[in-house]
Structure 1
Amino acid sequence: MFIDKREEILIKTRRNIFGQNVGGNPSLFSGNGLDFKELREYDVGDDVRKINWKVTAKAGRPFVNLFNEERELNIVVAFMVSGSIYFGTRRFKQELMAEILALLSYSTLKNDDRLSTLFFSDREEFFMPPTKKMGSLHITLEKALGLDPLEKVSDFNALVHYVNERIKRRSLIFVVSDFYGDVDLSLLNKHEVFGIMVRDRFEEEPKLFGEMDLIDPTTMHNEAFMLSPKIMQSYRKALEAHDEKLFEHFAQHRIKHTKIYTDEEPFIKLSSLFRH
């Protein structure tokens, strides 16, 4: 069943990437240099993709961005595995995360950059070493859709230790997760880190009242609860406090981030993230 879903995501990914990007660089991001150096006036033969449109508009003549060095990007997509991703009202968070993985991976490979893919819970679940082969996307997408996340929990401290031990080259690291629990990515500071938060709206505004049997997907522990409006309000406040602390952490350590709900199109949110 997930094979059909894999092909559906791949077709949708190609359509989004090529439909929204013109020219010879079908990608969400460009791999030409990470370190900005200076501006100079456009000269015949310069790459038009390097035109700084804001400065050009103000000056009335074209300017291009120069970088300290031209180099390919090393991109790591970290797919965080936890029982909590096995949930969704419109579609499971796991499926949305798979589509995000496909978009980031396809864009990387079409841009001829190096892609590593990591599935991580509190340990390595699967690792695809750096590659430029498009066939790797079929393998990792199948893994993303077919894995069983139940009874697993995301450990971000273990992730940071693993990445610092395994990924020696400075990289763009995309952490794709619902970001529950304790999150500290500050020690990934030699890399450029992006947080891609995946949520279902029902998690943040649950409509549950009365006696309910609830299952913790990270432990599969089942327990009956009597849910009152007061309890649900306390739950929402606790989640808001958790997320506020998380966003402060992102801001403090210059971690670019976005939140994508299961009823949204991830390409739109990711494009907006990279434009800013």
Structure 2
Amino acid sequence: MPEAKAVGGRCAIVKDQHEDLPEWLGYHEWLGVSHFYIMDDQSDPPLDQLLQPYIERGLVTHRRLEDGPTMAGDLKNRTCMLMNPDWRQLCAYNMCLHDHGHKHQFMSFTDIDEFLVITDSTPDLPTLLQDYEGYGGVAANWRSFGSSGFKQRQPSTLSSYISCLPINAYGAHTQIKSIVNMAHAVRLAGVHHASYAPGYFAVTASGQPVLNETHTSAPDYSRLALLHYVVKSREDFANKVWRGDAMKGPGKGELYWKKINDLSTVTCFDGLHAEQRWRGNTKSHSAASY
């Protein structure tokens, strides 16, 4: 009899974010993620010592990434996939899918400044994902947060940042990240979306097809949301700029910092409430903010 697959794995590429990982791992383990694949993008020091307790528990698999040309060459040799060696994040995601996707029903591919929250009465992520087994994947729309006025790094992301962008702010929240059904995924076509087998596609939380691949026509927070702490404190943002973009994009600077904070005119307690449920070990979710 074949071994049952774990419901939800999660892959992330991480660089020099040692202090952020424990909260991100602990919260998402509570939510129901069964295993994490941490792709270490040349962190200094490496993440292995920090992650060792999680590795010993069987919760984390850690891989220190090679240089871009080596990763792209490895993918080409093993999968015939042609990949831009500058796109380290996409290379890492496809390595996750190729090496570990067969172990899971679903895998999500997100950053560690992104926290999934359930917004209806579903008790946990595995229960929620049962309703999407017939689709290529389910899309989680961003809900983006500003700095809440903090200059220094805060000990908890979830409980500290409560200033967020209005739902309709410049289309920021139509962007998605994907929880991908491994039965129907071919590859990660981009860091936000996958390519699926013929006849399969991703849907929003309410079951509407995602036709644009990376965006929905409107944010759908009916069952889940992806809280995106895109700047956090001034200190965190400076470190983010220093780390650079693992997709070799133009990067984010002072204008972006100002834009996000100027637009963060709404108060959102969703991260704080999620942190309280996690710490209190209760599965009672609420959609009050949506």
Establish whether TM, by shorter chain, passes 0.5.
Answer: no
When Rg is computed on C-alpha atoms for both structures, the one with the higher figure is: 1
TM-score, normalised via structure 1 length? 0.32
Q: Greater relative contact order: 1 or 2 (C-alpha under 8 angstroms, separation 6 or more)?
A: 2
